Amino acid sequence: MFQAGYEICAFTSGHQAVVDPVLTQLDRHRVITHRLYRDATTYRNGVHMKDLSKLNRDLSKVIIVDDESEAFSMHTNNGITVKKFDGDPQDVTLLQLIPVLESMIADDVADVREVLRQYPGADGIQKFTEERIARNKALRDQHILAGKKSDSGRGNAIKTLASWFGISSNARQ
């Protein structure tokens, strides 16, 4: 487990001989801790399904990101479906997941499946992000308001203290 609170495993339905060089090129900073290939998938009804139990991890803490929802059909509540990468260098699909994942870590989510169940489908991540932005804004506004109340309370205390010494509150300007 990384210090950041997560680990990254690559689980692909591709053959190791083909995928390994690509992963090595992509993972220049060596953040991928484990690699699973086609031989680790379960082939059923023409689909290579990724059985997350093969990761030997607590599934309440596992999220699979894939462009084919059938690939994680054995663990649908652990999955986030993203659009297929088409080579566009402007594609930010995976980057858009960062706030979602960071939020789950910051909130110390007990079971990621409960969160993902609330935000199904292709637009689920967008909805999650919008709700978190609104929540963070509300918390920030609440904090600012609490700070103003605290400041006014401090101002009243100073006025009271000044009056004890016979100093007019107007004299402090």
User: Could you tell me the domains of the chain?
Assistant: 8-122 (3.40.50.1000), 128-172 (no CATH)
Q: What is the pLDDT of residue 1?
A: 43
Q: What is the pLDDT of residue 100?
A: 83
Average pLDDT in the 19-24 region? 94
pLDDT band at 40 (very low <50, low <70, confident <90, very high): very high
CA distance 37 to 18: 10
Alpha-carbon distance 48 to 88, whole Å?
26
Angle CA(65)–CA(60)–CA(52) in degrees, nearest 5? 50
DSSP, residue by residue, 80-110: EE-PPP-S-TT--TTGGGHHHHHHHHHTT-S
Compute CA distances 66 → 15, 40, 80, 132, 166, whole Å: 16, 16, 6, 23, 72
Residue 166 has a pLDDT of 56
pLDDT of residue 101: 86
pLDDT the model gives residue 6: 78
Q: Answer yes or no: is pLDDT of 157 > 60.
A: no
- Residue 59 pLDDT > 60: yes
Q: Is the pTM of this model over 0.75?
A: no
pLDDT score recorded for residue 113:
94
Instruction: Give yes or no for a contact between 75 and 63, defined as CB atoms under 8 angstroms apart.
Output: no
The mean pLDDT of the chain is 83
Does the pLDDT at position 20 exceed 80?
yes
> What backbone phi and psi angles, to 5 degrees, belong to 133?
-65, -45
Kindly state the tokens that stand for 56. Answer: 């030997």
pLDDT at 173: 47
Q: Is residue 141 left, alpha or beta, with left meaning phi > 0 and alpha meaning psi from -120 to 50?
A: alpha
How do strand 42-44 and strand 64-66 relate by DSSP bridges? unpaired
Q: Report in angstroms the alpha-carbon separations of 135 from 32, 129, 142.
A: 32, 10, 10
pLDDT of residue 19: 94
